[in-house]
Amino acid sequence: MKTPLPSRHCSNTERIAKNRRSHVLADANDRFERQMLEFALRWHPFGGGSSRLIFEEFGMDAPTYFNRLARILDADRSITSEKTRAAIRSVCAVRLQG
């Protein structure tokens, strides 16, 4: 006689716990992205901030930061005005060129 395999279906409690974890992660991601945007708004008039400052603030190198920032700006066009978004995207492009 075969022993039944455990069900792969989650109980309601497990589903709720998974949803809470995903919301917490999403909130943390949102906060981190918001911090990146605030940094960009503050530093874009000055070339986007030094590579050292970016690393100290976000723990990533400048190319990673500017790539991620560009994706954030492209994903949500309601973040800031079109003019400011274009200025930040320009800084991203310049910093990613070298």
For 73-85, write each residue's pLDDT tens digit.
Answer: 988 777 788 999 9
Q: What does the mean pLDDT of the chain come to? A: 82
DSSP state of 7: P
**Could you tell me which of 38, 37, 50 has the C-alpha nearest to residue 95?**
50
Report field, pTM of the whole predicted structure over 0.75: no
pLDDT at 25: 43
Burial status of residue 43 (CB atoms within 10 A of its CB: 0-12, 13-18, 19 or more): middle
